[in-house]
Structure 1
Amino acid sequence: MLLLYATVAWVLFGGSSCDVTPEEKCYGTSLSLPFSYSPLFFKGQLYFTPTKGGSRKLLMDKGEAKHPRLKVQHGSVRFTDLTERDEGTFSTPDNYNGRYDGIKLTIRDCADKVMHFYGDIYSTTVPRTAEFLEFIPRHGVDQLKVLWNRTDPQTNTGGRGRFKRNVWEMRNLNQADMGHYNIREKDNTLLSRILLEVREVQRDYIVKVNERLLIINPQVTTSWTVVFTPEGEREKQSLMHEGNLFSDYDLGTFAGRMVAMHNGIKIDPVEITDSGTFEFRDQQGYLVQTVQVLVNPEEVATFVYVGIAVGIVFAVIVCCCCVRKCCCKKSSSKTAESAPQTAATPAAYYCNTNPSVAPGYSAAPALDHSSHFARTAVVSRERTTISLEPSVAPPGGQGVDPATGTLLGSDCLSSDPGPRFELKGVHSAPPLSSGSTFCDVYTSDNLNFL
């Protein structure tokens, strides 16, 4: 039994613990403190220290609530209607009964997110149990406004919209309408929470150089202020103020090309420097529309590409032909230089045995007088003239002097195949070359006088 009491006491008071328990709660809900903080067991003081700065506040003392949203009952303690301002630490005084523990509370925004564009209509159904509708601007947590109150319309603190047949409606939205919309019951219980976001209308244009561009105005009718930010730059250029287009002197690169139309802004012709962002704002300065313009360089006509392709192909063909021709010339010259010289004309066979006349040839054997007389008689009677072809250098590199060949023409036979006279019964010496033969031999009996 004693062990059971000791365990309960340790759980309730936590001994000399100094732990801080983290807690996360949604906006508008309640935080229930541990059972050990109930008046049944806790008679001390409970404090709250804000996370975002501020003095420590007393919430409960000796079981009695010191804050309107702290609900203290015999067996429970609840902190209701939590907001962003309730982020912080709930703790007891230092060393109260050896306790140093506490609760660190974090508030999460669990609202339903709704997105609309500038100029749209927003509407939401209001439950029958709802008592009022409040609005908290997105960047003004302390600027709460009551938009609608069922029982006391006089408590409305301003704002746009109207309530009709359990529907709350707002027209022509702008960035001023961004924030949280809370619908609560009469006891301040949160029924619904909505986060409304209003964005500007976004348009994209892709054009080419020298084309005409018409930037359409936003659908909402008002006097616009337009600024332009060139692509890749940060400095903005004002083009229009409250619906009035600036003069050409102030339009810079748009001078002479930009005209204000009833439905938009016309740029004619478009230049490559027109790429960038155009911002449209209303008279209150709220962003209504952004236009992203991308200008592409002017495209070259198709026939230009075809002409370039044909020119490239023609140039390649011409180059190939020239290279081939040059290679062929070089190959022919090399072949002519390396090829063997034309085969020499068969050497003439001389009858004269004088070695000084035809050097390099062996002399034929000497003939007797009768043979010599026979040859002389043949030459004188037939008057046969034998022409000698120009001598060609024999394969030894030594040629025959043309003059010498002419002198020898009367005594020698040409190597050309022509008529040759031979005496019957007389055998002359064989030719100098055994490989050369004469096919035409004239034999006469009249010359046989031996």
Structure 2
Amino acid sequence: MKFENSRGFAKNMDREDALASYKDQFIFPKVNGRKVIYFTGNSLGLQPKSARKYVDDIMNDWADLAVEGHFKARKPWWDYHERFSAKLSKIVGAKPHEITVMNTLTVNLHLLMVSFYRPEKKRFKIICEEKAFPSDQYMIASQVRFHGFDPREAVVEVKKRQGEHSFRTEDILKVIKEVGEECALVLIGGVNYYSGQVLDIKTITRAGHEAGAKVGWDLAHAAGNIELKLHQWEVDFAAWCSYKYMNSGPGNASGCFIHEKYHGLNDIPRFEGWWGHNKKRRFLMEPQFEPEANAHAWQISNAPVLALAPYLASVEMFDEVGMDALIAKRNKIVAYLEFILHEIDREVKGNFEIITPSHQEERGTQLSVFLHGEGRELFNYLMENGVITDWREPNVIRLAPAPFYCSYEEMYDFGQILKKGILK
């Protein structure tokens, strides 16, 4: 498609957009009395209007039923988390019994590493990406120390080549091969939070397994954003937060994937609790743990239903639309945003550098842009003029036009505001 940098063209794109009506199902902040252009769904998604009803339902059941709400609520609380499995499985390419929802992201990665990071004297190293999200760096280092190893020896970082902004798959595969039989775990972010690069999860997972290692993925920036086939790719485990592209609310619950080949095992290392015990026998209060025959075996405590309610509201919206439709719009609106950036760069004779890969299979919703010659003042101008974006030092803005609630006309408007901010 040949794009045009005009309001008329953008409006026509919106008229043809099959998902355009979903914009009205979200609540937008306002700046100077006008709805913002919201580019930070990669950090915190907007609130679905339906979320309040899902929370109110639980509050009303709590008021009317008190403890009986566990079994007699409209959506009984004791198995509330099970409502996610089938719908989330479509989003991440899994079987329903491979999915559970619990805790928060880093907590879940720690818990999953109890099962999948089992270092030995010779096989003890973890491969991760250079400058992973800090929480992952802290988690990995602390796990290594917990097992009595030195992170300086046990943690191997795959690095970008000098002067490049993206990881090369061949470099990751080379490191996996070099570490070889010393590698216990490969644990990488599926989408790099800084550059927006989508990694080749299938190929990297296969290479990790060929080296004899377990392979897990932090999908914080991937779930609800890119196509995933976790079961088919034979990923051992994965976890993701729900508050970015999945719009569940700040700091909310995390989804987990555990491949079915690890289900039903009584001897797998795992921190265990009441809610992972055989559901049919849970209230018999037996002293011996009998795991659920699915991913719910990794549950520990009863579900925090007030937190899960907004997530369920969003997941049901995803189920209604489907990832294929979301990805189709994502591809088009990100390409249009990229076009707008190049057009404004040409008009202002600037020096923008989009560091997110240009190939569609290597990017999702996010474009990360170096604004060479511009400083934080431009970011402040955008924010003051109703463009909510994200700043990363030294001079990168991250732009994520989430397909559920961003419009093509907003991409055009952003370009005009950006131009004014540079020329002012």
**Superposition TM-score, scaled by structure 2 size:** 0.16
Name whichever structure is richer in helix by fraction. Answer: 2
**Superposition TM-score, scaled by structure 1 size:** 0.16
Higher relative contact order (CA 8 A, sep 6+): 2
